[in-house]
Amino acid sequence: MTHMVLEVKESLEERCNQILRNMEASLTARDRVGIQDFVLLDPHTSESAFLDNLRKRFHENLIYTYIGTLLVSVNPYKELDIYSKKQMDTYMGVNFFELPPHIYALADNVFRTMQSEFNNHFILISGESGAGKTEASKKILQFYAVSCPSTKLLNNVRDRLLLSNPVLEAFGNAKTLKNDNSSRFGKYMDIQFDHQGGAVGGHILSYLLEKSRVVHQNHGERNFHIFYQLVEGGEEDLLRWLGLERNCKNYRYLVQGDCAKVSSINDKSDWKTVRKALSVIEFSESDTEHLFGIIASVLHLGNIKFDVDARGYATLNNNQEICWGFLIRLKPKQRSPFSVDHAVYARDALAKAIYGRTFNWLVNKINESLANKDSSRKTVIGLLDIYGFEVFSVNSFEQFCINYCNEKLQQLFIELTLKSEQEEYEMEGIEWEPVPYFNNKIICDLVEEKFRGIISLLDEECLRPGEATDITFLEKMEEKIGGHPHFVTHKLGDQKTRKTLDRGDFRLLHYAGEVTYCSDLLDYYSFPVIFKVMRQSKNAIIKHCFPSTEPDSKRRPETVVTQFKSSLVGLTEILMSKEPWYVRCIKPNEAKQPGHFNDVLVRHQVKYLGLMEHLRVRRAGFAYRRKYEIFLQRYKPLCPDTWPNWKGTAAEGVQLLIKHLGYKPDEYKMGRTKIFIRHPRTLFATEDAFQVCKHKLATRIQAKYKGFRVKEDYLKQREAATKIENCWRGLMARKEREKRAWAVKVIKKFIKGFMTRNEPACIDNSEYLAYVRQNYLTRLKENLPKTVLQKDSWLTPPPIMQEVAQLLKKIYIRHMVRKYVRGITPQRKAQVKSTFTCHLCLLFLFFSDLCVRPPQYSVPVVKYDRNGFRPRLRQLIFTQQAAYLVEEAKIKQRIDYSSLRGVSVSNLSDNFLILHVTCDDINKKGDLVLQCDYLFEALTKLSIIVNNQNCIKVVQGSVRFDIQPGREGFVDFKSGQESMVYRAKNGHLMVVTTQCGEMLL
């Protein structure tokens, strides 16, 4: 019962705490800094108000803000204590808007929606380089690693998913001017979950690796991390085998940015992480050896220098050639005649081709490790970490591809957002109001339209006969798309435009602003002879990356931009088949400084990320929409009809609630499953009322809870009292029952003993006869004769006590009559009566023993304590078996004759005797020191009873006696003028007597 009470108590306390937490979690979050959801921002069309709210929250380290279910994240450029295991537990299984905005809230909501609806989802993470996209992706992966079910198999998959990140970062990330760990490739990762929510597999797609970084870096930037990790952290044996030195400055491909060392990057530590990750992802020793051999070969390749021979062809140093050729196991004599310029270009093209294809092999190898072998249906959550819109002073081919990708994703973003909003309105039966927004389809068509787009013109220019150059490509674009409103060149522009545009450049007006590109978008291909050489390599990875089925010189492959367009179309199809969720990352400043908020920079990112368009779409007529159940659960205390429990449907309850609150018809709409509130001020007024109400509600809950606690204590005490009372009554009842049973038994025995009283002693009459003896002795004690002559006044004894009564008469008469004295003093008479009374007490206590062995002798004595020698009046009684020292009715000591070692007396008339007894136990009493007025009589009786006349020893001067084992005392005897007994200074008992002292017999 107590256990059940405690469980109810704990359950109630937890429920009360949960209610209080829910009340504190304000949907509008106006008790915090700024607005947590931009949908509730008023005015929602003001870009300045948007920035003010973002800035206000950023300065309070509140880096996350919602736009509906879209999450806006501002990079704080410092560590914040908001990513602990405790934070993860807080956001698991909680309503999306119940707690402050967080990336864990979005990740948990995606996961729970996937489980409940059993469909596929993806999270699009976008933003500029340095905005925190890669970190956001890591946090989501870490959340799923903790929140998903755990088994040995699932943990293995989880570890591979997590450790794929440091490997891909090492080979695909680099230090740039904007970010020390910038992803230089686009990544889409699918995480596969089983029906129980366990992560069982994954798949990664990569897009447009920045291969140009392998051979060239701007000042202040680095090559990919893996090169520096290998040189700085590689083991000595490995570097020796690879022919590398532990100095990045010795390699041309690593020093162009003059930034080999970065304070925020620990290459040695990262190298250990990568090595461990490769082993967990199940890279074999052979794979790892070939992989590092390729990385080293790229470094050696960058150090090759060319000279001109007599025929104008390029020549190279054999040692260098053999070194990098050995690592990828090439035959060193295979080469093709190039000019020096062509040779340098071919060298760099080969380095880029080797690294780019090796990176693709690495991604495929990781996918093999993450592949789920189970063919049953799985649900998927995709993570898309894609490049942000980039604008530099010089924008080349790669910036063109990146910005084209952002145009496509922006188009997809608007389409999916509008589509989801329109579907929600239609599903709820609410009239859809068209939302004006910039449709960037016109820009996407400019780039990708068949036969007329920039990509088609680029392919055509590369395939036409003759030599294609940047100028011919620019002229063709001016001819085909010269009239497009979003395309302009120096030739097509007005006088003002020509001042800002070089003759070899062209400008595109993207949705995020104008970007000027160099016209060097022609994708030069590696010479066919190079690919033939690479096919001869004995390195397993190189052979796989340059297969024999590679298109030869007779047929040119697709350009890189066409391949990128095709992969982008495939990515779009993947995303269109899943439910979208968005994380928009913003960097607050270019200097990576904590606490600094650059309004111009942030405003530009807000524009090209399409946040205002998304907000306008979300606010398409209604600022707030919630399911009836959620709205009613939160605000039902505001209406007496709905509080505390509403029995009807949630929609009916909400209708009563808003009627009580006084909502006007134009302020809300009732959908099929949701309520739509048009203006934020309406919700704010409702929230204000709730904030006032919740304090009263908390007081009532507190009062109820206190009442419950008091009642609980009362019930507990009453239960305890009832239990004690029941136990006490049970105990008393058992005692009464036992008492009655005992009484019945005693009465039965008494009756049976009475009926057999005249028979010989047996079990049936033993207790009755004992009672008869006890009763007789008790009455005799109170009715002794006053004089010797009153013989007839002696109580008539029962038959069982005839012999005992005769013995008692003799003893009484013997003590009443003195043989050697004519008269008796009053003191002696009292002493005789006292002695006889003592005999009667002993008979009363030991009547069963006395019937067989009655007392032989009794005499009053003075007993001296062993410690301190204090005198005490006692009665000494001799029976046939033992001597007893008695005080009234109490036996103080029993001395068995078998333990009596002897008796000591002095040669003086002091009446002292010392009984020596055997004492082996420290808990037993020692020898007895006694003074007896009838010493001769007592000694004579003792010697007769024990049948040993030699036990009495007469001593002179002093007697030693045992107080207890190991401890002794002494009695000293001497003559003096006056008889006295006292304790001497030496601790002995001193007995002084006169020579003429009278001895009474």
Quickly state the pLDDT bin for 936 (edges 50, 70, 90).
confident
Q: Which has the higher per-residue pLDDT, 907 or 804?
A: 907
Measure the CA–CA gap between 675 and 662, rounded to whole angstroms: 15
Q: Catalytic residue at 130? A: yes
Q: Is 133 annotated as a binding residue?
A: yes
Task: Average the pLDDT over 671-682 and give the result.
Answer: 82
Q: Is 825 annotated as a binding residue?
A: no
Percent of the chain at pLDDT above 70?
84
pLDDT given for residue 530 in this prediction: 63
pLDDT given for residue 391 in this prediction: 78
Is it the case that residue 997 has pLDDT exceeding 50? no
Task: Average the pLDDT over 646-664 and give the result.
Answer: 86
Is it the case that residue 839 has pLDDT exceeding 70? no
Q: Which has the higher per-residue pLDDT, 172 or 23?
A: 172
Is it the case that residue 22 has pLDDT exceeding 50? no
Is it the case that residue 777 has pLDDT exceeding 90? no
Task: Average the pLDDT over 928-933 and give the result.
Answer: 91
At residue 943, the 3 state secondary structure works out as helix
Helix (H) / strand (E) containing 114: helix 103-117
Query: CA triplet 234, 237, 284: central angle to 5 degrees?
Result: 70
Q: Which has the higher per-residue pLDDT, 799 or 831?
A: 799
Tokens of 934: 């009838």
Considering Cα of 315, then 317, then 322, then 324, what sign does the dihedral take?
negative
Selected catalytic residue, list 135, 321, 390, 712: 390
Q: Kindly report the length of the chain.
A: 1001
State the average pLDDT for the chain: 81
pLDDT given for residue 333 in this prediction: 46
Q: Which has the higher per-residue pLDDT, 637 or 837?
A: 637
Which of 259-273, 435-449, 548-562, 609-623 has the highest average model confidence (pLDDT)?
A: 259-273
Distances in whole angstroms, Cα of residue 134 to Cα of each of 124, 171, 226, 797, 959:
12, 14, 17, 117, 107
Quickly state the pLDDT bin for 418 (edges 50, 70, 90).
confident
Measure the CA–CA gap between 928 and 989, rounded to whole angstroms: 13
Neighbour tally for 491: CB within 10 Å: 13
Q: Which residue has the tokens 């820009």?
A: 443
Q: Which has the higher per-residue pLDDT, 223 or 377?
A: 223
At residue 539, the 3 state secondary structure works out as coil
Task: Average the pLDDT over 723-742 and give the result.
Answer: 93
Is it the case that residue 159 has pLDDT exceeding 90? no
Selected catalytic residue, list 26, 75, 176, 182: 182
pTM (whole model) above 0.75: no
* Cα 93 versus chain centre, distance: 17
Is it the case that residue 465 has pLDDT exceeding 70? no
Q: Tell me the per-residue pLDDT of 292-329, one tens digit each, with 9 for 90 and over.
A: 999 998 998 888 888 877 777 777 765 555 555 555 55
951 and 900 Cβ atoms separated by less than 8 Å: yes
Quickly state the pLDDT bin for 782 (edges 50, 70, 90).
confident
Q: Which residue has the tokens 């009627």?
A: 659
pLDDT given for residue 738 in this prediction: 92
The amino acid that residue 787 corresponds to is T
pLDDT given for residue 21 in this prediction: 44
57 and 65 Cβ atoms separated by less than 8 Å: yes
Task: Average the pLDDT over 645-658 and give the result.
Answer: 86
Measure the CA–CA gap between 646 and 629, rounded to whole angstroms: 11
Q: Is 105 annotated as a binding residue?
A: no
pLDDT given for residue 347 in this prediction: 83
Q: Catalytic residue at 93? A: no
Is it the case that residue 384 has pLDDT exceeding 50? yes
Selected catalytic residue, list 129, 642, 858, 906: 129
Q: Is 134 annotated as a binding residue?
A: yes
Is it the case that residue 6 has pLDDT exceeding 90? no
CA atoms within 13 A on the CB side of 40: 22
Quickly state the pLDDT bin for 334 (edges 50, 70, 90).
very low
Tokens of 845: 């206590």
The amino acid that residue 862 corresponds to is V
Q: Catalytic residue at 181? A: no
Q: Is 130 annotated as a binding residue?
A: yes
Helix (H) / strand (E) containing 403: helix 397-428
Q: Catalytic residue at 134? A: yes
Quickly state the pLDDT bin for 572 (edges 50, 70, 90).
confident
Percent of the chain at pLDDT above 90?
21
Q: Which residue has the tokens 């016109």?
A: 442
Q: Report DSSP state, residue 796.
A: P
Q: Is 128 annotated as a binding residue?
A: yes
Q: Is 966 left (phi over 0), alpha (psi -120 to 50) or beta?
A: left
Selected catalytic residue, list 126, 134, 537, 904: 134
pLDDT given for residue 42 in this prediction: 76
Quickly state the pLDDT bin for 462 (edges 50, 70, 90).
confident
Selected catalytic residue, list 233, 257, 293, 388: 388
Measure the CA–CA gap between 435 and 442, rounded to whole angstroms: 18
Nearest of 148, 628, 205 to residue 386 by alpha carbon: 205
Quickly state the pLDDT bin for 879 (edges 50, 70, 90).
confident
Quickly state the pLDDT bin for 381 (edges 50, 70, 90).
very high
Taking every pair of Cα atoms in the chain, the longest distance, rounded to a whole number of angstroms, is 175
Q: Catalytic residue at 129? A: yes
Distances in whole angstroms, Cα of residue 679 to Cα of each of 408, 613, 619, 770:
33, 18, 9, 107
Nearest of 926, 912, 917 to residue 861 by alpha carbon: 912
pLDDT given for residue 577 in this prediction: 87
Q: Which residues pair with 263 in a beta bridge?
A: none
Burial class (CB in 10 A: 0-12, 13-18, 19+), 1000: middle
Work out the end-to-end distance of the chain between its first and last CA atoms, rounded to an integer number of angstroms.
81
pLDDT given for residue 467 in this prediction: 65
pLDDT given for residue 840 in this prediction: 53
Q: Is 197 annotated as a binding residue?
A: no
pLDDT given for residue 62 in this prediction: 93
Q: Which residues pair with 182 in a beta bridge?
A: 174
Measure the CA–CA gap between 888 and 934, rounded to whole angstroms: 20
Selected catalytic residue, list 179, 403, 519, 904: 179
Q: Is 10 annotated as a binding residue?
A: no
Contacts 24+ apart (CB under 8 A), 759-764: none
Quickly state the pLDDT bin for 111 (edges 50, 70, 90).
very high
Q: What is the DSSP string of 352-394?
A: HHHHHHHHHHHHHHHHHHH-----S--EEEEEEE-PPP---SS
pLDDT given for residue 27 in this prediction: 39
pLDDT given for residue 867 in this prediction: 81
Distances in whole angstroms, Cα of residue 924 to Cα of each of 684, 893, 921, 929:
93, 10, 6, 16
State the alpha helices, DSSP H only, in 662-762: 680-755
Q: What are phi and psi of 22, to 5 degrees?
A: -65, -40
Is it the case that residue 513 has pLDDT exceeding 60? yes
Selected catalytic residue, list 65, 176, 183, 395: 183
Quickly state the pLDDT bin for 52 (edges 50, 70, 90).
very high
28-32, 580-584, 887-891: least confidently modelled range: 28-32
Is it the case that residue 852 has pLDDT exceeding 50? no
Q: Which has the higher per-residue pLDDT, 333 or 183?
A: 183
969 and 961 Cβ atoms separated by less than 8 Å: yes
Task: Average the pLDDT over 473-483 and give the result.
Answer: 86
pLDDT given for residue 109 in this prediction: 87
Is it the case that residue 727 has pLDDT exceeding 50? yes
Neighbour tally for 242: CB within 10 Å: 22
Q: Which has the higher per-residue pLDDT, 350 or 167?
A: 167
Tokens of 255: 């020093």
Task: Average the pLDDT over 776-805 and give the result.
Answer: 77
Quickly state the pLDDT bin for 837 (edges 50, 70, 90).
low
Q: Which has the higher per-residue pLDDT, 222 or 613?
A: 222
Is it the case that residue 596 has pLDDT exceeding 90? yes
Q: Tell me the per-residue pLDDT of 943-982, one tens digit each, with 9 for 90 and over.
A: 888 888 788 889 988 999 888 887 888 999 999 888 889 8
Quickly state the pLDDT bin for 9 (edges 50, 70, 90).
very low
Selected catalytic residue, list 34, 68, 130, 653: 130
Task: Average the pLDDT over 534-549 and give the result.
Answer: 76
25-39, 214-228, 794-808, 951-965: least confidently modelled range: 25-39
pLDDT given for residue 1001 in this prediction: 30
Q: Catalytic residue at 390? A: yes
Neighbour tally for 642: CB within 10 Å: 22
